Chains A and B, each alone.
Chain A
Amino acid sequence: MDNIQKTFCKITVFLRTSLAKDFFDQLAKMGIYRVYYSFSRCAYQSQANFLTRLIGSHIEVDSFETIFFYVTEDDEEKVMKSIAELCQFDITGRGSIISREVSFNKSIDHLINQVQVEQKSSIALFENLTQTFCTTARGQNNELCEVALNHGIVPTILSASGTGLRDQIGLLRITIPKEKEILTVVSGAEEAPSIFEHMIYDGRLNRPGRGFIWQTPLHKGIVHLKPSQDPISHAAALEQMIAAIDSLKGNIHWRRSQQKIKKQKNTRYFSGYEYIVHAEEQDCSLITKALNSIGISGATIQPSKLLNLESDDIVPAHQLLRIVISEDQNQDFLKLIQNTPIDESCYLCCAKVTRAFNFIPARKN
């Protein structure tokens, strides 16, 4: 880990599309100019009616923006609090904000935003949160959405493309669809194991070719998405009461669901590191090729847009390449990255993974 430099805070905001325009103006006012963003969608439970019962799915979707940027650790709390206040994240259904600790392989001064915020907000941030990521084939994550919704959490889904076997079979690769989706949920750390197990079980991730799941610890955050769109018949919506208790307690651990954990057989969990390569479009392919050579083939490429809110300059399209490396492969990986001729504009961002799972076929010996 000697080539990993100073740690920073990555702040991620999930926001309703209709609120996004104002949000970007506010960010610019705070001095946050370098921002990555991607379109995403979030899933809700809808009111069950005759039609939805007939189809069997009661999940509805809405478009959301997923926005993230880097600040120094000192700025973390005040930035989060003022964004939470500006976007009124204490009201349910508007969006979430979370932060996590990351380190970079080289200096990224131009990506770090020099923030000018004064105000002190009274909004409480929750601590001890976990973010779960899960990659699946496009349109195959309804079961996973339901797991999250059953835990009272709104999942966010980003589109991505997968690499792996595809890149090793020449032109035959066209027969394997590359469209993937990344589903992500933020939960209390206590609830994370339950979500993890349920997702593996309900999403049948323990079968080949279904997907890959991992969890990383978060620093702080506010998670107030509204899991259902049912009309309310009380003075306050259930979600509003939950939000009130959340802020009284200062955490969301009391929300822990009563669902039993289904223990899986023959599952191998591992811990390790999540590496996110920030690269310009097409530069990622060099890295995936190199990865293939040491037998790491499960990378997910997520298209993203790097914005410069200061000016109207054209910024080349960006991609985020997510790779999860187990502890024992980590040294190989770092060596490989050092030896791969990567473009100057690529940055490698590293974060801890507490728990990960991937289907590995039984070896015949």
Chain B
Amino acid sequence: MLTLKDKISLLTGYFKTRLMAQVKVVSFIILYLIFFQLFILKIPIENAFSIAMGIVAIIVGLTLFMEGLILGIMPVGESLGLKLPANARLWHILIFAFILGLGATFAEPAISVLHMMGSQVDPEKAPLLHFLLYQRPKELVSAVAIGVGLAVIAGMLRFLKDWSLKPFLYPSVISCLALSSYGFFSENFSHIVSLAWDCGAVTTGPVTVPLVLALGLGVSRVVSGHTSEGASSGLGVVTLASLFPIISVLTLCLYYDLTKDFSEFSALALPQSLSEQSQPLILTQLFESFMVAAQAILPLIAFMFFVYKILLKEKFLHADEIILGLIFSLLGFSIFTLGINTGFKDLGNQIGQSLPVAYTSIESDQQITIENFDPQKTYYRYNSSGEIETFFYFLNPQNQTQEILFEEQYFDKQKMTYTYPLRYGPLWQSEAGWNMKGYLVVLFFAFFMGYGSTLAEPALNALGSTVERISVGVFKKNLLIQSVAMGVGVGILLGLLKIILHLPLTYFLIPLYCFLLILSFFSNEEFVNIAWDSAGVTTGPVTVPLVLALGTGIGLESAAIEGFGILAMASVCPIISVLTVGFWSEYQRKSALKYG
């Protein structure tokens, strides 16, 4: 009944709207990064072509992946959630929940992220951290997995019994904080606190979150709760899945810290750092990212299919749609990963390396050679510490006279040439070692980077749609995403401040979380669920590489032991911002009821 022309116009309209939605989402962060590098730091972008291709891949990949989530992954989760409570016994449901949690952790390659972050760690200074990351990674992942498993169990119990989230929040946050504050007594333990909090942030990835959200949505539609407040909203599992792993990892660390003697710890040779490997062919890269996608999606979906079709003996309503959705999400996730790995990471790394230009000078790969150089024709001057420096003037090709410090090592006596690397920065000069303006620029950059990358996070998009759907449009997706993005911006800013000021993470976490607990106590259940859930979804595949690049760029320059902890900060601040938005709309609601 449809002509070919009709079909084509349907398809083009469909792809166009989906594609434009992702272009909108991604364009902010990309344009911002390019603008900052080119116009603020004034450093040209290398490999522009591969970066551009990477960006195209990200947009296409995200489009397919989001559509796959909506068509395939979320309906599977929801159908299962609808059928499970009525057709299975309580302990069956709990076993299912535990396996799901375990599977989700092993499937999503969070540990590789932690490995990359840990590659800069000095084993002498933080032996426990190094020990866990490189010699006991399996135990670390298992600890995280058990944490997530227990979290899914607790989440399901909440739905089935219509319990509030608050009684779960208080004890788990307090025990997280209590365990972390043990770091004040043990130097070794203090380094690992940041890792543990980051584990919580990293575990909830772009496949797990939508799946768990949809499952919760399904369960909440059949259980007895009867208001849109409370457990019946179907949210809250993501929160627990971010908090419980922190407890389990901290407990594991505590065990090793108390039982193992690290005074004569010797580090094993590190595996070659990922960034130093040579670039493999584009096809191998595509294959690798496809494997990553398949590993993240297939085992979980296969498990859910098994439970739904074999154990519950139910049929999917639109099986063809679901299969298409799964193909979309597989393809989308692999193209997206490819885009992140080839283009986006490169852009992030470039800007991460050149960011210190703001407050210090950095050397670039480019070199300038001056022929017929005569070391006699230089000038002398005293610096502030009373040493004599040699320098000369140089007229560069842009006809600007530059003052260049003479260094013996760059002078070639045979050829009489002086070859020195091109230096950038510092863009903002200041006296006495503490470059206030430069640091402010970096913090400013961090805020908008966090903001922009969060807008593009697929898991947050899924959460936004779910929240909008649950609240029948009262809590707008856009409002949620914007407030979370603001929160992440502030969080990354604070995390960077932590690295620059060399402060322990607990100085930030304890007051912030205490404040949060008070805020949550006074907020209504609906917003507590939304806010804490949004914390778990902020740190996904777009934000993490950027934060890593930023952390290593800044962290090395400021000689901090590790760049961990930024992600933990990026998780806590969105909760505050969303709860604040909640308070504001609650106030409006109350004022509307006041006279009636």
Contact = CB atoms under 8 A, between A and B. Distances in A.
A260 interface: no
B222 A317 contact: yes
Given A169-B2, A229-B591, A281-B82, A41 B474 contact: yes
Q: Is the interface of B mostly helix, strand, loop or mixed?
A: helix
Interface stretch (A58-66, A343-351, A356-364): A58-66
B10 interface: yes
Nearest to A17: B228
Contact of B226 (A24, A93, A303): A24
B10 A172 contact: yes
Contacts of B85: 314
Interface residues of B, number: 38
A60 B470 CA distance: 17
Interface string B298-325: 0000000000000000000100110010
A243 B10 CA distance: 50
A220 to B, nearest CB: 22
A175 B222 contact: no
B7 A172 contact: yes
A21 to B, nearest CB: 5
Contact of A18 (B82, B324, B589): B589
B11 interface: yes
A303 B592 CA distance: 28
A55 interface: no
B469 A171 contact: no
Nearest to A306: B222
B317 A63 contact: no
Nearest to A304: B221
A63 B228 CA distance: 9
A137 interface: no
Nearest to A225: B596
Interface string B69-95: 001000000000010011000000000
Interface in B314-349: 317, 320-321, 324
A56 interface: no
Interface in A200-238: 226, 229, 231-232, 237
Given A174-B14, A226-B596, A282-B317, A41 B471 contact: yes
A229 B320 CA distance: 47
B227 A94 contact: no
B1 interface: yes
Contacts of A173: 321
B2 A61 contact: no
Nearest to B161: A312
Contact of B473 (A18, A61, A168, A317): A61
A239 interface: yes
Interface string B453-471: 0000000000000000111
Contact of B474 (A63, A226, A239): A63
B10 A175 contact: yes
A174 B324 contact: yes
A62 B589 contact: yes
Interface string B1-25: 1100001001101100000000000
B82 A232 contact: no
Contacts of A39: 228, 470-472
A285 B82 CA distance: 16
B595 interface: yes
B470 A312 contact: no
B224 interface: yes
B592 A226 contact: yes
Contacts of B591: 229, 231
Interface in A30-76: 35, 37, 39-41, 44, 60-63, 65
Contacts of A62: 474, 589, 592
A170 B321 CA distance: 9
B592 A93 contact: yes
A324 B85 CA distance: 34
Contacts of B86: 314, 316
B227 A159 contact: no
Interface string B567-595: 00000000000000000000011011101
A39 B467 CA distance: 12
A88 to B, nearest CB: 9
Contacts of A231: 591
A155 to B, nearest CB: 12
A175 B14 contact: yes
A158 interface: yes
Given A39-B471, A157-B472, A239 B592 contact: no
A10 interface: no
Nearest to B7: A172
A6 B85 CA distance: 35
Interface in A316-339: 316-317
A305 interface: yes
B10 A93 contact: no
A176 interface: yes
A172 B11 contact: yes
A317 B10 contact: no
Contacts of B13: 175
Contact of B1 (A168, A226, A314, A315): A168
B470 A316 contact: no
Contacts of B472: 39-41, 63, 157-159
A20 B227 contact: yes
Given A159-B473, A314-B224, A93 B593 contact: yes
A341 interface: no
Interface in A153-191: 157-159, 168-176, 181
B223 interface: yes
B583 to A, nearest CB: 15
B221 A303 contact: yes
Interface string B469-504: 111111000000000000000000000000000000
A173 B474 CA distance: 28
A157 B473 contact: yes
A271 interface: no
A91 to B, nearest CB: 5
A317 B2 contact: no
A231 B594 CA distance: 10
B459 to A, nearest CB: 21
Interface string B197-216: 00000000000000000000
Give the top 7 A-B pairs by smallest Cβ distance, nearest first.
A93-B596, A175-B14, A92-B596, A317-B221, A63-B474, A175-B10, A20-B227
Interface of B: 1-2, 7, 10-11, 13-14, 67, 71, 82, 85-86, 218, 221-224, 226-229, 317, 320-321, 324, 469-474, 588-589, 591-593, 595-596
30 contacts: A16-B593, A17-B229, A18-B593, A21-B227, A37-B226, A39-B472, A41-B472, A41-B474, A60-B588, A63-B474, A92-B595, A92-B596, A93-B593, A94-B593, A139-B473, A158-B472, A169-B2, A171-B320, A174-B71, A175-B13, A175-B14, A229-B592, A232-B595, A240-B596, A281-B221, A307-B226, A308-B224, A315-B224, A316-B82, A316-B222
Given A44-B592, A168-B1, 19 more contacts: A21-B227, A24-B226, A24-B227, A37-B226, A39-B470, A60-B588, A92-B596, A157-B472, A159-B469, A170-B320, A174-B71, A175-B10, A181-B473, A229-B591, A240-B595, A282-B317, A314-B224, A317-B221, A317-B222
